[in-house]
Amino acid sequence: MTAAAPPSIVILTGAGISRESGLDTFRCAGGIWSQVRLEDVATPDGFRRDPARVHAFYNARRAQLADPAVQPNPAHQALARLEQEYPGEVLLVTQNIDDLHQRAGSQAIIPMHGELRKIRCDACATVLPWDQDCSPQSLCPACGNGGSLRPHVVWFGEMPLEMDRIYAALDDCGLFLSIGTSGTVYPAAGFVSHLSDIGLAHTVELNLTPSDGAGLFDDGLYGPAGEQVPALVDRILRGDIPGW
Ligand code: APR
């Protein structure tokens, strides 16, 4: 007789989990989409219209990751600890393109909207680590082509990465945590409804304030992620989650 495996956990994170590390969110007051039009820098049409402008937008955000002041915060660190100490499977699905989860030590990560510190070549489809500035004149290190490099970032109107793997994990999980996301961009915003239709997982929202989709969750914990996430991870590891 073997003991049943502990239920698996799927975690979705958004820009709010990186806010206390000094990175802007998108839709809070003063957020990124109040500084620049997403149509100009986060769509295929915007890139076709002005690739230099789009590269400059991502170059600035990539350079910010190299700032010593930008470090994983206690929320990122707590999720890495959960993966290490929880006896069951933990999958971290992030909408963020920063590298703070990776630097905190999380390993089972799906960056569904891509990664700022990678570049993709539209000529040879190679995806490569990339830490310097990129421009329409940059040459692809793999095929040598010029003018075919783009940020390895999923833009509006494009399909996020590894969706089959994400839905397989959602369909199998017992606990779903949604952390620091406004729940306004699909398909990520639809994960909680998908789970409610299945009825197997206990779902918890952790956010600064209740998102518009707060009512879709079984539970909600509100306040800065740097405080709420470590406290919840401690409770999960103690087996102290009411209703789950
Ligand atoms: N702790 C927890 N939550 C926070 C904190 C904090 N310190 N600060 C802000 N938040 C919350 C906000 O209340 C908001 O609900 O984080 C959320 C951030 O929402 P958005 O700015 O919309 O970011 P996100 O949900 O990640 O956006 C999803 O939209 O623009 C696209 O591709 C982009 O991945 C992004 C996607």
pLDDT in tens, 176-196: 999 999 999 999 999 999 999
Type of residue numbered 241: I
pLDDT tens string 68-117: 999 999 999 999 999 999 999 999 999 999 999 999 999 999 999 999 99
- Residue 207, phi then psi, degrees to nearest 5: -155, 165
User: How many CB atoms are closer than 10 A to CB 50?
Assistant: 15
Q: In whole angstroms, what is the distance from residue 225 CA to residue 180 CA?
A: 7
Question: Residue 201 contacts by C-beta under 8 Å, 6 or more apart in sequence?
Answer: 10, 170, 173, 174, 175, 176, 195
Q: In whole angstroms, what is the distance from residue 220 CA to residue 199 CA?
A: 17
Best mutation site among 17, 18, 24, 28 for ligand 1 pocket (most ligand atoms within 8 Å of CB): 28
In the chain, what percentage of residues exceed pLDDT 70?
98
Place of tokens 């500035």: 133
Confidence of residue 168 (pLDDT cuts 50, 70, 90): very high
Best mutation site among 181, 186, 217, 227 for ligand 1 pocket (most ligand atoms within 8 Å of CB): 181
pLDDT tens string 124-158: 999 999 999 999 999 999 999 999 999 999 999 99
Q: In whole angstroms, what is the distance from residue 138 CA to residue 131 CA?
A: 13
Residue 162: pLDDT over 70: yes
